[in-house]
């Protein structure tokens, strides 16, 4: 289907989309900010897009803003105003992607190929009206199909769309992944390639565990757990979207021709079944303790404030403990402050998470995890699990040792 919807379809518009057009020979290639950090790198990316075209594929590129451009634009906004106006903020921060994509289209033309760069709006990416973290509600793909039919390499500015009120919106930090995945889904692309400055998804952070290995493939579920547990390589929302729309993802390096890591469903032939895929970590995962509040009310309010609550413990009838990522700390502090309840927060803990689809059918993983941590004298303050994850809050200074010990205990360095 040429039209994709994340939430409610917009019926009138969906009706005139050319349902059924699939671009099976299309590859969507997304390049992150560090891959397009200067003009030479943009020329290299142009070369890579052209090579894919010359190999006979149709090519749609999605480029992030150059290097730290977005951070710089955000900084400017806050230099002007403590509370930048939401609409103008999106007008501003969406600009970075126009620059990189337009420059790349010029470079492609110099290589003798047809190319066109488009804003999110020109590309037909329709979102809801929530500035700063808009959700894509539809992709009107006619323009994209017709540009591809004209034999052009099409470049789409990542991270942005146009709202149903015809305003420019942005999709949240790291949102170019979302643009790429949504376009791959809407056009029915064979694969969505995510080019970045690392070789793929690793069994652990190689800066902590030098023997960490690049994974050949992981399932969407594993990637979701890894991303939620601190692995930074993909935006969480884009992985959810890929899973819901069956988009195969391939995370790989901009700077080499090597295969990276495939993110696919459990039935995919590229997957080799492993019990444990990796150990993710965060150096700081704030832990909140709240007294005398009804759990239903507390978590409803946290959800409204878009706080991504992770671990939850009902310690006693009048006490709840939960954790939330560092990124949500401001929102969380503000909300708890406004509730007029007794609460406290500690930020001297990090989180170590063991992730693997094979856990579902292998008993003893939890036992081995705890024995390993005990063996190196690391105490778990809070433990949380999902069918494919065991996560332990440990003291921040113990995080690297815990990651290393678990990586070794589960022999993740062995192929």
Quick one: angle between helices 69-80 and 86-93, nearest 10? Answer: 150
278 binds ligand ASP (CB under 6 A): no
124 near ligand ASP (CB under 6 A): no
Pairing of strands 153-157, 58-63: parallel
Site for ligand ASP in 77-96 (CB under 6 A): 96
- Least gap, CB of 209 to ligand ASP (angstroms): 27
Angle at 146 between CA 144 and CA 151, to 5 degrees: 100
CA distances from 379 to 368, 373, 375, 395 (A): 14, 7, 10, 8
Helices (H), 235-308: 236-244, 295-304
Task: Note whether 33 binds ligand ASP by CB under 6 A.
Answer: yes
Residue 159 binds which of Mg ion, ligand ASP, none (CB < 5-8 A, kind-dependent)? ligand ASP
* CA neighbor of 226 nearest in space, from 102, 93, 391, 412: 391
Binding mask 42-71 for ligand ASP (x = CB under 6 A): ----------------------xx----x-
Selected from 2, 33, 188, 226, the binder of Mg ion by CB under 5 A is 33
For Mg ion, which is the closer residue by CB, 165 or 197? 197
Nearer to ligand ASP (CB atom), residue 201 or residue 392: 201
Q: Does 64 bind Mg ion (CB under 5 A)?
A: yes
H or E element, residue 125 = strand 125-127
The minimum distance between CB 223 and Mg ion, in angstroms, equals 19
Neighbours of 266 (CB within 10 A): 11
Choose, by CB under 6 A, the member of 175, 188, 200, 278 that binds ligand ASP.
Answer: 175
Q: Is 101 in the site for ligand ASP (CB under 6 A)?
A: no
- Token representation of residue 246: 């069956």
Can you tell me the distance from the alpha carbon of 353 to that of 334, in angstroms, rounded to the nearest whole number? 28
- In sequence order, what are the residues at sequence separation of 6 or more whose Cβ sits closer than 8 angstroms to the Cβ of residue 57? 25, 26, 27
Q: Applying CB under 6 A, which part among 171-179, 186-194, 204-212, 225-233 lies near ligand ASP?
A: 171-179
Binding site for Mg ion (CB under 5 A): 33, 64
Binding site for ligand ASP (CB under 6 A): 33, 64-65, 70, 96, 158-159, 173-176
């Amino acid at each position: 289907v040429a039209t994709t919807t994340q939430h409610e379809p917009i019926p009138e518009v969906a009706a005139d989309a050319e349902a059924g057009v699939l671009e099976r020979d299309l590859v969507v290639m997304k390049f992150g900010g560090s891959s397009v950090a200067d003009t030479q790198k943009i020329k290299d990316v142009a070369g890579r897009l052209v090579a894919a075209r010359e190999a006979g594929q149709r090519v749609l590129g999605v480029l992030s803003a150059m290097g730290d451009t977005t951070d710089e634009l955000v900084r400017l906004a806050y230099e002007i105003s403590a509370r930048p106006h939401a609409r103008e903020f999106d007008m501003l921060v969406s600009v970075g992607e126009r620059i990189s994509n337009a420059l790349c289209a010029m470079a492609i033309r110099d290589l003798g190929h047809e190319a066109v760069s488009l804003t999110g709006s020109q590309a037909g990416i329709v979102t809801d009206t929530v500035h700063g973290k808009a959700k894509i509600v539809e992709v009107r793909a006619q323009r994209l199909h017709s540009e591809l039919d004209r034999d052009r390499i099409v470049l789409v500015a990542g991270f942005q769309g146009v709202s149903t009120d015809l305003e420019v919106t942005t999709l949240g930090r790291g949102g170019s992944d979302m643009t790429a995945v949504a376009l791959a889904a809407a056009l029915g692309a064979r694969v969505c390639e995510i080019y970045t400055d690392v070789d793929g998804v690793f069994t652990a952070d190689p800066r902590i565990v030098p023997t960490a290995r690049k994974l050949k493939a992981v399932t969407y579920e594993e990637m979701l757990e890894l991303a939620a547990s601190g692995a930074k390589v993909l935006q969480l929302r884009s992985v959810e979207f890929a899973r819901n729309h069956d988009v195969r993802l391939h995370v790989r390096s901009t700077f080499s021709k090597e295969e990276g890591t495939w993110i696919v469903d459990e039935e995919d032939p590229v997957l080799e079944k492993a019990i444990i895929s990796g150990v993710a970590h965060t150096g700081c995962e704030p832990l909140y303790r709240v007294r005398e509040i009804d759990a239903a009310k507390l978590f409803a309010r946290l959800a409204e404030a878009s706080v991504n609550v992770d671990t939850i413990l009902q310690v006693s009838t009048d006490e709840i403990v939960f954790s939330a990522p560092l990124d949500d700390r401001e929102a969380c502090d503000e909300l708890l402050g406004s509730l007029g309840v007794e609460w406290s927060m500690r930020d001297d803990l990090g989180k170590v998470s063991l992730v693997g689809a094979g856990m579902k059918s292998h008993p003893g993983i939890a036992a081995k995890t705890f024995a390993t941590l005990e063996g190196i004298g690391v105490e778990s303050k809070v433990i949380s699990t999902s069918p494919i994850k065991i996560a332990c809050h440990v003291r921040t200074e113990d995080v690297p040792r815990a990651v290393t010990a678990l990586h070794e205990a589960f022999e993740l360095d062995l192929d």
